[in-house]
């Protein structure tokens, strides 16, 4: 898939850190970044657009903790009907701009019995349950053809953030994220199966972006906001509104954690 042209102002900015802000978490770009510019996805020729509530649909770039960052204020999902090459196009663009570290955030359902809505989980690993891989049919010779996935989420960076969380009395969980296609939430039987596979949280994103980032040799750090208990664990029906409400409730804590991660990167 051919990469679209970006405005000269953005390419000249040369961001070093990329941030993907998941459902209900887009506020971070407005609250914490000293904004240099914004670029709506709709103004980029051939670029996907966000179709899900809580995803503003624009790049926001500027400085944070002395680092040049570019944020996706809203991401794309497989369930929106996009092909893998389309929903991972932003990672290819970030690589071309010079981004070397990618922070991927998401809203996730808690599977681990100790997780409650409002918790944060740093990703130690993931399980790809999407039924496909974004590197299938890859065109071009950029990056590694067969990337090693032994350590998708950078161990050294995780160690630094874990230490920061301990020093600041932040209850940061760490576990395995499992990605499904969505858009339907999982059944209780599926959640029991995922728990047996070793998953601590479940969501509908993140894994394709992380795979492509590793293809390019980027450092990757993933953080899930546990916005609900998964089916069969939750005492209520699951809804997208619950996801947004929980993300909004933990805004200050999420912002502090993500800003600290960028500073330590």
Is 236 a residue whose pLDDT tops 70?
no
Active site residue 55: yes
Three-state secondary-structure class, residue 35 = strand
Nearest alpha carbon to residue 99 among 3, 10, 232, 192 = 10
pLDDT value of residue 49: 84
Tell me which of 84, 94, 165, 204 is the catalytic residue.
204
Q: Which residue has the tokens 């407005």?
A: 30
The 10 Å CB-count burial string (b at 16+, else e) for 205-218 is: bbbbbbbbbbbbeb
Which residue, 199, 225, 221, 250, is CA-closest to 107? 225
Q: What secondary structure letter does DSSP report for 152? A: S
Residues 29, 41, 61, 77: which is the catalytic one? 77
Question: Does pLDDT of 257 surpass 90?
Answer: yes
Among 14, 9, 233, 21, which residue's Cα sits nearest to residue 109? 233
pLDDT at 50: 78
Of 210 and 246, the one with more pLDDT: 210
pLDDT digits (tens, 9 = 90+) for 138-180: 987 889 999 999 999 999 999 999 999 999 999 999 999 999 9
User: Does residue 122 carry a catalytic annotation?
Assistant: no
77 has catalytic annotation: yes
Residue 220's pLDDT band (cuts 50, 70, 90): very high
Q: How many whole angstroms separate alpha carbon 127 and alpha carbon 235?
A: 26
Check if 97 is active-site: no
Given the residues 190, 193, 240, 259, the one annotated as active site: 240
Instruction: Tell me if residue 168 is catalytic.
Output: no
State the pLDDT confidence band at 235, using cuts at 50, 70 and 90: low
Q: Which position among 41, 50, 56, 80 bears the catalytic label?
A: 80
Question: For residue 140, what pLDDT is reported?
Answer: 79
Q: What is the mean pLDDT of the chain?
A: 91
Out of 61, 228, 230, 265, which one is annotated catalytic?
A: 228
Q: What are the tokens at 144?
A: 């590694």
Identify whether 128 is a catalytic site residue.
Answer: no
Indicate if the pLDDT at residue 81 is higher than 90: yes
Is cis: bond before 183, omega within 30 of 0?
yes
pLDDT digit string, tens, across residues 86-121? 999 999 999 999 999 999 999 899 999 999 999 999
pLDDT at 65 (0 to 100): 85
Among 16, 65, 79, 255, which one carries the catalytic annotation?
79
The residue annotated as part of the active site, out of 29, 41, 50, 55, is 55
Rama region for 176: left / alpha / beta (φ>0; ψ in -120 to 50; rest): beta
Please confirm, yes or no, whether 133 is among the known catalytic residues: no
What tokens appear for 67 in the block? 């680092």
Choose the catalytic residue: 23, 106, 154, 224. Answer: 23
- Give yes or no for residue 230 having a pLDDT over 90: no
Environment class of residue 238 by beta-carbon count within 10 Å: exposed (0-12), middle (13-18) or buried (19+)?
middle
Using a pLDDT cut of 70, give the percent of the chain over it: 94
- The predicted-structure confidence for 8-51, as pLDDT tens digits, reads as follows 999 999 999 999 998 777 889 988 999 999 999 999 988 988 77
Answer yes or no: is pLDDT of 250 > 90: no
Which of 84, 94, 97, 107 is an active site residue?
107
Q: Which domains, ranges and CATH numbers included, belong to the chain?
A: 13-264 (3.40.50.1580)
pLDDT for position 54: 59
Residue 244 is a catalytic residue: no
- Give the per-residue pLDDT at 139: 82
Q: CA 97, CA 10: separation in Å to the nearest integer?
A: 8
In this predicted structure, what is the pLDDT of residue 245?
76
Q: What is the pLDDT of residue 3?
A: 86
């Amino acid at each position: 898939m051919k990469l679209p042209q970006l405005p000269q102002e953005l390419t000249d900015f040369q961001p070093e850190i990329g941030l993907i802000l998941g459902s209900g978490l887009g506020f971070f770009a407005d609250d914490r970044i000293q904004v240099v510019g914004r670029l709506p996805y709709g103004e980029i020729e051939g670029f996907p657009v966000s179709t899900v509530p809580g995803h503003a649909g624009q790049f926001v770039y500027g400085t944070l903790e002395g680092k040049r960052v570019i944020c996706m204020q809203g991401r794309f999902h497989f369930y929106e009907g996009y092909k893998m090459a389309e929903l991972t196009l932003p990672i290819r663009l970030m690589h071309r701009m010079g981004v070397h570290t990618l922070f991927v955030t998401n809203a996730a359902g808690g599977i681990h019995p100790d997780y409650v809505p409002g918790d944060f989980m740093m990703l130690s690993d993931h399980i790809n349950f999407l039924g496909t891989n974004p590197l299938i049919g890859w065109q071009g010779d950029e990056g590694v053809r067969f990337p090693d996935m032994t350590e998708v989420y950078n161990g050294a960076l995780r160690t630094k953030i874990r230490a920061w969380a301990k020093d600041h009395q932040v209850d940061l969980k760490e576990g395995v994220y499992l990605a499904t296609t969505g858009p339907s939430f999982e059944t209780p039987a599926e959640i029991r199966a995922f728990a047996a596979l070793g998953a601590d949280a479940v969501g509908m994103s993140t894994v394709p972006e992380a795979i492509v980032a590793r293809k390019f040799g980027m450092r990757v750090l993933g953080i899930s906001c546990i916005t609900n208990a998964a089916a069969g664990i939750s005492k209520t029906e699951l809804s997208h509104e619950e996801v947004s409400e929980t993300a909004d409730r933990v805004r200050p804590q999420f912002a502090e954690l993500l800003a600290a991660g960028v500073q330590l990167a």
